[in-house]
Structure 1
Amino acid sequence: MPIIDDPWFWALALPAFLLTGISKGGFASGAGNVAVPLMSLIVPAPQAAGIALPVLCAMDISSIRAWWGRWSVDQLRIILPGGLLGIAAGAAVFGLMSNAAVKLMVGGIALAFLARSLWQARPGRATPAPATPSRLRGGFWGMVSGLTSTVAHAGGPPLAVYMYPLRLDRATLAATTVVFFAVMNYVKLIPYALLGQLSATNLLTSLLLLPMAPLGVKLGIWLQSRMSDRVFYRIVYVMLGVTGTKLVWDGFSAIL
């Protein structure tokens, strides 16, 4: 069976999935997914998304076990229907987009998420009162999350726009987010298979990256009481800033 033999791919993919697993484990759970942006520096962005999906599905199993029963059923009822609609829209868009266009989207999402996170963390920012749950807002941002999750496994930032202002406790937020993306990822297996993103090369590469799933999740759970989120966020933000800028540049260069 074929396999990706570029050493730079593995040098980027292994730590990227470890960091993603740590975030999936609930430590700095809003840090975003760096795996697809980093792998997209070496392989086509659609292929990077195809490689990532089986590993993310394995991480979801470990994450659900860690957060079992602590999610908000009410919030899942609000955001899941929109998320499923977003997957349908994302699958239609995914099949029509070129590699350059996907790179632009992946890089743009990474930079937009970075900018939003830095703005919210600015000194002197007042803490707002908790927002009221809304089926309209939750459904809309769930749909946007499903779309961006399908194209680039980058559904975290849109979902955070709705979920974070609710000011749920840390465990409920992490568990609800984990269940939402577990459903999204397993449903996405269908369009990814139909679009040819689960090829032999991609699946074998995913298999070799699979040990990062339980290792990263367990490390994320362990780090919660032992390390400040701020240090982890800084690592992820630097990676997102560099890779996002590079992907946007490459995407524009290919189009122009």
Structure 2
Amino acid sequence: MSDPLTYYVCALTAVFITGLSKGGFAGIGVLAMPLLSLSVDPLMAAGIMLPILIVQDFHAVTAFRRHFDATVLKVMLPGMAAGVLTGFAFAEIVNTTLVLGAVGVISIIFGTQKLLNIGASNVINPSNNIIGAFLGIVSGFTSQIAHAGAPPYQLWVLPKQLPRDTLVGTTAICFTALNLMKVPAFIALGQLSATNLTYSLYLLPFALLSTFIGTKIVKKIEPDRFYFFIYFCLVILGFKLVFEAIAS
């Protein structure tokens, strides 16, 4: 670990970002892991963040508990479970850099198309449940290996143009379940050690505060502006994943 000041600056910023993400600004949370990894080992960072993500997830589910799309849950959750198992069992075999890079490219294409209103059709067919289940698997896999499950999930769910609160509530339920699925694997890998859990505990009050702020902001934003922001974040995250893949 770096010096305490650097750690807490990175950690508090990372937790604030994930709080906004769980509050409704889905996708930007993927920036938290690289930020926290500037001050601690990436495996330790993942272990510290998981309990925080779960607590923030439950807060978001509570805030939007009446708003969700059952079809998305039925399609996505089984795929996410399979993806987590795949990530745990085959992470050392599968070229994770290639997977994240491919997700990044698709995210850039899809997000740019939506921002610029190019073309009449979606890159991803939101009515095809087979595609949805496959992207659920990819989401579970990328979440297990890098806490980066949002982009694959968004590729299928965003084109559905769900009402703002329904999108936020559905996303909260999906990622609450997904992060809980990851707990056994993290325990088996030794990432939920007493040391990591202690660091998580210190950050929990700020984690809850940032999620509360995120939910309040989301409820005040017009749906069109909300979707524009999400698509913009998706493009930025896509470039981040591609650059990381190239650098590796």
TM-score normalised by the chain length of structure 2: 0.81
Higher helix share: 2
1:202 counterpart residue number: 196
Q: Is it true that 1:76 corresponds to 2:70 in the alignment? A: no
Q: CA deviation at 1:226?
A: 4.4
Residue by residue, what CA displacement relative to the aligned partner does 1:56-113 show, whole Å, maximum 9, x if unpaired? 000011011001131112221111111101010111234x38xxx87x5798589658
Q: Matched residues in 1 for 2:49 and 2:155: separation?
A: 24
Q: Is it true that 1:123 corresponds to 2:116 in the alignment? A: yes
1:9 counterpart residue number: 7
2:18 counterpart residue number: 20
1:190 counterpart residue number: 184
Q: Matched residues in 2 for 1:243 and 1:41: separation?
A: 16
Q: Is it true that 1:34 corresponds to 2:27 in the alignment? A: no
**Partner of residue 214 from structure 1, selected from 198, 208, 214:** 208
Q: Matched residues in 1 for 2:100 and 2:128: separation?
A: 30
Q: CA deviation at 1:189?
A: 0.7
Aligned residues: 243
**Most deviating of 191-200 and 222-231:** 222-231
**Most deviating of 110-119 and 14-23:** 110-119
Relative to 1, partners in 2 of residues 1:159 and 1:54: Cα closer, same or farther, differing over 3 Å? Answer: same
Identity in percent: 34
Q: Matched residues in 1 for 2:103 and 2:5: separation?
A: 24
Relative to 1, partners in 2 of residues 1:117 and 1:44: Cα closer, same or farther, differing over 3 Å? Answer: farther
Would you identify which runs of 4 or more consecutive aligned residues in structure 1 move more than 4 Å? 104-114, 126-132, 225-249
1:147 counterpart residue number: 141
2:45 counterpart residue number: 48
Q: Matched residues in 2 for 1:136 and 1:118: separation?
A: 21
Local SS of the residue matching 2:30: coil
Q: Matched residues in 1 for 2:236 and 2:72: separation?
A: 31
**Partner of residue 178 from structure 1, selected from 172, 181, 188:** 172
**Most deviating of 220-229 and 8-17:** 220-229
Structure 1 residues without counterparts, runs of 5 or longer: none
Q: Which amino acid aligns with 1:214?
A: L
Structure 2 residues without counterparts, runs of 5 or longer: none
Checking the alignment, whether the CA contact within 8 Å between 1:90 and 1:150 is kept in structure 2 is yes
Q: Which amino acid aligns with 2:108?
A: A
Relative to 1, partners in 2 of residues 1:238 and 1:64: Cα closer, same or farther, differing over 3 Å? Answer: same
Q: Matched residues in 2 for 1:74 and 1:230: separation?
A: 20
**Most deviating of 65-74 and 239-248:** 239-248
Checking the alignment, whether the CA contact within 8 Å between 2:107 and 2:151 is kept in structure 1 is no
* Coordinate RMSD, CA, aligned: 3.4
